[in-house]
């Protein structure tokens, strides 16, 4: 028996009034529930089981799984391929699209292909420059940027046509997302940049890592004043830091990530820096949960994916809720029969 909230591959849930997709992730956010997503780094492999093994560590703790698209300008299994595999068994993937590697023709084709395979969530990104990756001799494309990409996918979804004007036989039914970075100067411009993305069609936002609560609160205050938080769902980016050394390296070498000195000092004084990094992440999630206009958190635990379950569990933000995962309801029925 398939329960009402349990997707069956090839048989999506009905689209509810006011929703743009049949996806479970959109349903969670629109219900007012505090949502949790996590980032899955696609493998350097053609084995689908490598994708499933990485996804299973999130079972019961996340409402959506982001599949990165050449993150850091490094090549891995494609986001569209990873998402297609995840949808086979009912996960709610978020397909990331980077404008760095494909032109508008290829991107529109990928959007249709992904939607046909059951993908309902798309995150539109400009993408890191090729010089950041391990193949800097690659030719960058950047035919579109994140805002024009949002407009492109919205046109396909709402106007049932390609950018060329040619009609679609059936439009993709998608929930549109993008990224925001409240911690990159000029700080006063960031809410206006977000407003442009809202105007372009964004429905949910996942921010860059948030380690500076003071700066984030200022950003959210301005976002609320502008009415932006009423027009899109904002999910704050968080993640565990492994050590003061790694935090310093990230701050100095990864563009757009701001880590205050106080955070690095706390890690440097800890007897167990990795444990302290998880505790810091838990505390940040609990603080972010209280900020008006924050609809969820997006956990980016690079090379610490196995820590996501503990972090979310100890943060208490799920409040006893168990997000859907393959086999969840069967397991619940089995436990009920034993009790």
Distance CA 175, CA 22 (A): 9
Q: Is the pTM of this model over 0.85?
A: yes
pLDDT digits (tens, 9 = 90+) for 57-103: 999 999 999 999 988 888 999 999 999 999 999 999 999 999 999 99
Q: Are strands 93-98 and 204-209 parallel, antiparallel or unpaired?
A: unpaired
For residue 327, the model assigns a pLDDT of 86
Q: Retrieve residue 5's tokens.
A: 């909230």
In this predicted structure, the answer to whether residue 46 has a pLDDT above a threshold of 90 is yes
Q: Name beta bridge partners: 178.
A: 124, 205
In this predicted structure, the answer to whether residue 44 has a pLDDT above a threshold of 80 is yes
pLDDT digits (tens, 9 = 90+) for 281-307: 999 999 999 999 999 999 999 889 999
Question: Which CATH code for domain 24-338?
Answer: 3.20.20.220
Looking at 117-185, list the stretches that DSSP marks H as alpha helix, in order from N- to C-terminal side: 146-158
DSSP state of 140: P
For residue 339, the model assigns a pLDDT of 56
Nearest of 190, 181, 92 to residue 128 by alpha carbon: 181
Give the mean model confidence (pLDDT) for residues 225-253: 96
For residue 3, the model assigns a pLDDT of 41
Mean pLDDT of the chain: 93
Give the mean model confidence (pLDDT) for residues 101-117: 97
Pick from 22-31, 123-132, 202-211, 218-227: least confident = 123-132
Distance CA 185, CA 181 (A): 9
| Burial class, 243, CB count within 10 angstroms (exposed 0-12 / middle 13-18 / buried 19+) | middle
pLDDT digits (tens, 9 = 90+) for 158-186: 999 999 999 999 999 999 999 999 999 99
Give the mean model confidence (pLDDT) for residues 136-154: 96
For residue 328, the model assigns a pLDDT of 87
282: three-class secondary structure by DSSP: helix
Give the mean model confidence (pLDDT) for residues 141-150: 97
For residue 129, the model assigns a pLDDT of 85
2: pLDDT confidence band, cut at 50, 70 and 90?
very low
């Amino acid at each position: 028996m398939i329960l009402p909230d349990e997707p069956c591959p090839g048989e999506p849930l009905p689209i509810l009034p006011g929703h743009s997709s049949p996806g479970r992730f959109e349903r969670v956010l629109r219900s007012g529930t505090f949502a949790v997503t996590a980032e899955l780094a696609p493998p350097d492999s053609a084995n689908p089981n490598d994708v499933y093994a990485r996804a299973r560590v999130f079972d019961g703790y996340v409402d959506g799984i982001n599949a990165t698209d050449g993150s850091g300008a490094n090549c891995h299994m494609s986001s569209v391929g990873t998402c297609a595999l995840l949808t086979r068994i009912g996960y709610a993937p978020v397909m990331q699209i980077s404008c760095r590697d494909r032109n508008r023709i290829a991107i529109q084709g990928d959007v249709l292909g992904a939607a046909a395979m059951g993908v309902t969530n798309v995150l539109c990104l400009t993408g890191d420059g090729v010089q950041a990756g391990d193949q800097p001799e690659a030719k960058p494309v950047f035919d579109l940027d994140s805002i024009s990409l949002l407009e492109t996918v919205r046109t396909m979804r709402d106007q049932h046509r390609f950018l060329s004007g040619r009609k679609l036989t059936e439009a993709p039914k998608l929930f549109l997302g993008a990224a925001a970075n409240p911690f990159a100067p000029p700080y006063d411009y960031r809410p206006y940049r977000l407003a442009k993305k809202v105007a372009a069609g964004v429905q949910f936002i996942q921010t860059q890592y948030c380690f500076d609560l003071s700066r984030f609160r200022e950003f959210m205050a301005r976002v609320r004043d502008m009415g932006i938080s009423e027009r899109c769902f904002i999910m704050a980016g968080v993640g565990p830091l492994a050590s003061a050394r790694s935090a310093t390296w990230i701050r100095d070498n990864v563009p757009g990530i701001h880590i205050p000195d106080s955070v690095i000092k706390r890690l440097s004084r800890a007897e167990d820096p990795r444990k302290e990094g998880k505790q810091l992440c838990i505390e940040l999630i609990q603080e972010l949960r209280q900020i008006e206009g924050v609809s969820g958190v997006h956990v980016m635990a690079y090379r610490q994916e196995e820590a996501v379950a503990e972090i979310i569990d100890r943060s208490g933000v799920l409040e006893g809720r168990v997000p859907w995962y393959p086999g969840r309801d069967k397991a619940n029925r089995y436990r009920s029969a034993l009790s």
